[in-house]
A and B are shown apart, each in its own frame.
Chain A
Amino acid sequence: MSLASHKMLFFDTLIKSALPVTLQLILGSFVGACLIGLIGGIIRGMKVPVLSQILGVYVQLCRGIPDMLVLLFLYAAMTKGSTYSIAVLGISLIQGAYIMEIIKGGILSVDKGQWEAAKTLSLPFLTTLFRIVIPQVMLVALPALIGQLVLLIKGTSVASTIGCLELTKRAVIAMSGYSNALIVYGYVLVIFFIMCHALTVVGKKLEKYVVERIMGDKYER
């Protein structure tokens, strides 16, 4: 393969046209999954009747169905919407379920006594939730949340199954133009690895920062 075709493959096809799509998928599903996860996690953590049972079923469904099938199903079911928006919806739904369980676990880990103390001080429910409980949930759940986010980044490649032109799909298409599959997939693999690795590194720093913000310095978990 000539240098020019390497350049064309790597910069033009992968970096310039495919990477932005993947980044948008990541960002869109991140927002969607966090919203679903936070709201659902609170409902499940607070054991809101009916709603939390319904969400429990939803979580089980997402755990029990291959991601690829979820997307294919949505793609078949939705008459409107680009492959991009269907992919964002699907990945948000799938990842939201996992984040929901993380948030729920975090809420349950906050000592019941703090809720009771807040009650005896007449603090409103929402004040207790957002000023006292959720920050402590973040503290315990952040490592798991960052881990889940890495999975979300990797998971965006599933969008290729419905033809969304993100990195993996582009690579598959580009294959026809190049003889060496190892190089094409190699580039994609490296790009995904760098994104995930960067997140892990940034995540560690973020964890430290968040712990200090929430609990002051010198806090030992």
Chain B
Amino acid sequence: MSDNNNIVLSLKNVTKKFGDLTVLDNMSLDIHEHEIVVLCGPSGGGKSTLLRSINGLEKINSGEIYYRGELVTNKNIKSVRSHIGMVFQSFNLFDNLTVRDNLTIAPIKILKKTKAEAVEKAQSYLDTFGIGDKMDHYPHQLSGGQKQRVAIVRSMMMEPDVMLFDEPTSALDPEMIKEVLDAIRRLAEMGMTMVIVTHEIGFAREVSSRMLFLENAKIRVDASTEDFFTNTEDERLKQFLSVILKH
């Protein structure tokens, strides 16, 4: 695909267990710069756990994770994390802060931006995503789709190198899904490296360059998007796709 210099994230033989249950089974995976990788698969397959392990929200039992060639350890996890954006299914905005403060608290504190710089940047992102008038709103005053776009901007404010999305539209009403998907499309146009868990299979096909099918703690299929949909020999994937495409 591309040479090693372009690898943003690399998992080597990663195993994660919850008690006796193996959720990631000796998993290896490279994510290259500008790649848009969509993870799909049946519920409980380990998709969320994979994303959460990448930025240290879950501790892995064995294996290694590398960020830009550097082994991620307890020591550097904080600095590594600051390069990895994460968007959750349930938005997780800070309820007691306005959109402005939600967006600027981390860049001011961590990236040492001035307030004016941070606000200016926040405004330009909000404008890009069609919510430029929401700066002074509190999360409870926003719709689900607006909240998720704010959450995306909040991650982008940290100037991430890669963005992880865990079912960003699953908690949304159908009419709001499009606005969030459009926001992700904009990030794609900007060349953002992304790993996306989604059941929006049409969107996945359109935006991704590579698709992974996760089942029972293993990556069962790892293919270019084209091959994933047209050339797959994998029976389980065929079955999964037929169900999800009918739906």
Q: A residues engaging B (CB < 8 A)?
A: 111, 113-114, 116-124, 127, 131-132, 135-136, 139, 214-216, 218-219
Contact = CB atoms under 8 A, between A and B. Distances in A.
B95 interface: yes
B110 A120 contact: no
21 contacts: A113-B91, A114-B92, A116-B88, A116-B92, A117-B93, A117-B151, A119-B57, A120-B86, A120-B155, A121-B82, A121-B106, A121-B110, A122-B79, A123-B105, A123-B106, A127-B105, A215-B138, A216-B140, A218-B141, A219-B138, A219-B140
Contacts of B94: 114, 117-118, 131-132
The number of chain B residues touching the other chain, given as a range, is: 20 to 34
B95 A122 contact: no
Contacts of A122: 78-79, 81-82, 106, 110, 158
A120 B109 contact: no
B105 A114 contact: no
A124 B105 CA distance: 11
A132 B97 CA distance: 8
Interface of B: 55-57, 78-79, 81-82, 84-86, 88, 90-98, 105-106, 109-110, 137-138, 140-141, 151, 154-155, 158
Nearest to B79: A122
Greatest chain B CB density within 10 A among A118, A121, A215, A218 is at A121
Contact of B109 (A111, A123, A135): A123
A136 B81 contact: no
Nearest 9 Cβ contacts at the A-B interface: A113-B92, A117-B92, A121-B106, A122-B82, A120-B86, A216-B138, A135-B96, A132-B94, A214-B96
